[in-house]
Amino acid sequence: EVKLWVNLGSDDGMDEAKLPATLESLGAPGGKVLKALTRPTYGYVYVPEADAPGFEALNGKAHNDKPLKLERHRPRGQREERRPRHEALPDVPGQARLWVGLGRQEGLDEAGVTAALEAAGAPAGKVLRTDLRPTYAYVFVAEEDVAGFEATHGKPHGEGKTLKVERAKRK
């Protein structure tokens, strides 16, 4: 018996009956799923060892425009090490850290994030520093300037994107 991880879960409309049926409709061997479990973003199917390659062959096939990922479950000690998390810039007394829904994927650098905020009405020249990430940025401003930046939340940015700005939450 082999436990296979699948990137389809209850958020994709799957349950313990629908997941095997979906895999079979995509070409997996019929009637070979011994057990299925679903979580919100993924699921597991248990199949006989001899039938596992037929399931693994589904990798990359599309299910509702989502590329299917299917691989053998690896217990924690056997998984590849994750990259270390990006180290956050330290907080400075008197400064507020704001989360901004703009990042590198929009083709922006630190100056571009500042320019986008100022174009939306944020106070000019008030960004003290920026911590740019792939999909978002942290912008540091003086406490007294926070309201001016938060006022840009909901304003349009570019083609069909809405600016999101809020005080960053602590982990």
Q: How many CB atoms lie within 10 A of CB 52?
A: 19
Here the tokens at position 91 are: 């907080």
pTM for this one? 0.51
Per-residue confidence (pLDDT) for residue 88, from 0 to 100? 65
- Same domain flag for 124 and 66: no
Residues 7 and 45 in one domain: yes
Mean pLDDT, to the nearest integer, of 34-42? 92
Confidence of residue 86 (pLDDT cuts 50, 70, 90): low
SS3 percent helix, strand, coil of the chain, rounded to 5, is: 25, 25, 50
Say if CB 35 and CB 23 are below 8 A apart: no
Contact (CB, 8 A) for 120 and 72 = no
The CATH number covering residue 131 comes to 3.30.70.330
Asked if residue 85 belongs to a domain, the reply is no
Which of 93, 112, 91 shows the shortest CA–CA distance to 102? 112
Give the pLDDT of residue 104. Answer: 86
Domain of 28? 2-72
